[in-house]
Amino acid sequence: MPSTLPASEAHATLYDGRSAHPWRVALVWSDAALTLTRADGEVETIDIARLARARDGSGQRVVLRRTDAPDWRLLLDPGATLPPLRRAAAPTSRTASIVAASVAATLGIGALLWLQGSTILEAFAPLIPRRVAARVGDTIVAQLGAGEICHTPAGDAALARLAARVRSQHGPQPASVAVARVHLVNAFAAPGGRVILFTGLIDKARTPEEVAGVIAHEAAHVALRHPEQAMLRYLGLSAIAQALGGNIGALADLALLLANTRAKEAAADAGAVAAMRAGDIDPGALADFLGRIDHARAPGDRIDRTIDRLGDYAATHPGDASRIVAIRAAPRAAHPRAALNASDWVALRSICSARR
């Protein structure tokens, strides 16, 4: 076949994009056009502005593509000269611009969420109907294995009296405060306003004031709608981060969550201090309790991990001495009174002792 080609400096193999047949062609370049002459005599002239180098070939041959015919390929023979193409698609600059754009977009969205993420969540959390939030909350309670709530008439009455002493100053009050038979030192507030204390926490507390502190802290989470915000975050932001960012996106989301959790815990502590002082209970009791469980905590339990992942629900976050310092720095209660009388305290401590 090559013998029938017209004399020319350069040859190439043409794939015209219509069939897989390799056409041997002779090339003639001019300033504005490339003329291809096929072995069967057919001649085609292509505007040089429509030619570009194809991306990322194996590098063994120069491959040209046409901007107006995506399937067209011209494989130049080794040694064929190539005039400067006006629109030489530089793969590096294209890759660089994709990277730059995605880095900028990621940083932009990241910065927005970092700085304004809680504002967005705060704005949307009150829009969730309480009924829906309560449904989700009940589900989380059941998922945590905290479904078995302990009841005794005397214990329920004691718990109600304790909760009434530390009512939030503003915002919604807890829908209920209850003790679940789980032997972990932890407590959480679920969407919809259910506050659950674990038996492990009741056992660990030395005074009713310490339990009152934990209830006040959880009630402050409820008043600030933190559980609803966590729910939005979990179903929205985290899901998107993991869908698009994969494992690394999930890690980034976790970092954001932890940073945000710290601020929410501090806000809940402040609310707890205010509620305790208003209820004539010394806020120091909460600090005492947090200081003690810090040492006793054994990490790694599944339920603890779930609560930690949901972040905002948890009362007991490990190793944050600054929280204790901040609580101790608050003014003490002016006229402290016992949070519960002795018989109520016994009733609360034995709320889960009754046989099922």
Partner 1 sequence: METANDGEHAIVFEGDPGPFIGLVAKNLLLTIITLGIYRFWAKAAVRRYLWSRTRVLGDTLEWRGTGMQLFLGALLAFALVGLPFVLLSFAFQAMLAAKNFLAAGLLYLALIVGLLYIVNVGLYRSWRYLLAWTSWRGIRGGMATGGWAYGWLALRMTLLQSITFGLATPYASVRLWNARWNDATFGSAPFRAEVEWKPLFKRFWPLLVVTIVGVLLVEGGLLAVVGLSGLRPQPGAPPHAVMRTIGLLYLVFAVLGLGLSLLWSGYIAAFWRAAIGGTSLGGMRFGFEANAMTWFRYQLTNIAIILGTLGLGALVMPYRHFAFFAARMSASGTLDTAAMAQTSVDAPRQGDGIADAFNLTGV
Site map for partner 1, 164-203, x if CB under 8 A? ----------------------------------------
Q: Kindly calculate the radius of gyration of the chain based on its CA atoms and give it in whole angstroms.
A: 35
Q: Tell me the C-alpha distance between 225 and 220, whole Å.
A: 8
Q: Shortest CA distance to 324 belongs to which of 273, 257, 250, 258?
A: 273
Q: Out of 49, 90, 105, 346, which residue is the one contacting partner 1 (CB under 8 A)? A: 105
Does residue 21 bind partner 1 (CB under 8 A)? yes
Residue labelled with tokens 């809940």? 268
The answer to the question of residue 72 lying near partner 1 (CB under 8 A) is yes
CB closer to partner 1 out of 243 and 338: 243
First to last CA, the chain: 94
Contact between 135 and partner 1 (CB under 8 A)? yes
Figure out which of the listed residues 11, 122, 138, 181 binds partner 1, where binding follows CB under 8 A. Answer: 138
16 binds partner 1 (CB under 8 A): yes
Please name the helix (run of DSSP H) or strand (run of DSSP E) that holds residue 124, with its range, or none: helix 91-124
Per-residue contact track with partner 1, 245 to 264, x per CB under 8 A? xxxxxx-x------------
Selected range binding partner 1 among 54-62, 176-184, 300-308, 347-355, rule: CB under 8 A: 54-62
Tokens representing residue 36 in the block: 């291809």
Among 106, 173, 207, 350, binds partner 1 (CB under 8 A): 106
Out of 1, 49, 88, 103, name the contact with partner 1 by CB under 8 A.
103
Q: Would you say 267 and 224 are in contact if contact means Cβ atoms under 8 Å apart?
A: yes
Measured from the CB atom, is 43 or 243 closer to partner 1?
A: 243
CB 348 within 8 A of CB 159: yes
Cβ 198 to partner 1, closest distance in Å? 18
DSSP 8-state code for residue 172: P
| 195 within 8 A of 247, measured Cβ to Cβ | no
If one asks whether residue 17 binds partner 1 (CB under 8 A), the answer comes out as yes
> How many whole angstroms separate alpha carbon 188 and alpha carbon 297?
16
CB of 193 to partner 1, least distance (A): 16
- What are the angstrom distances between the C-alpha of 193 and each of 85, 173, 294, 303? 68, 7, 26, 19
**Residue 288: φ, ψ to 5°:** -55, -45
Binding test (CB under 8 A) with partner 1, winner from 32, 49, 90, 98:
98
Q: Give the footprint of partner 1 on this chain (CB under 8 A).
A: 15-22, 54-58, 70-73, 75, 95, 98-99, 102-103, 105-106, 110, 135-136, 138-139, 141-143, 147, 235, 239-241, 243-250, 252
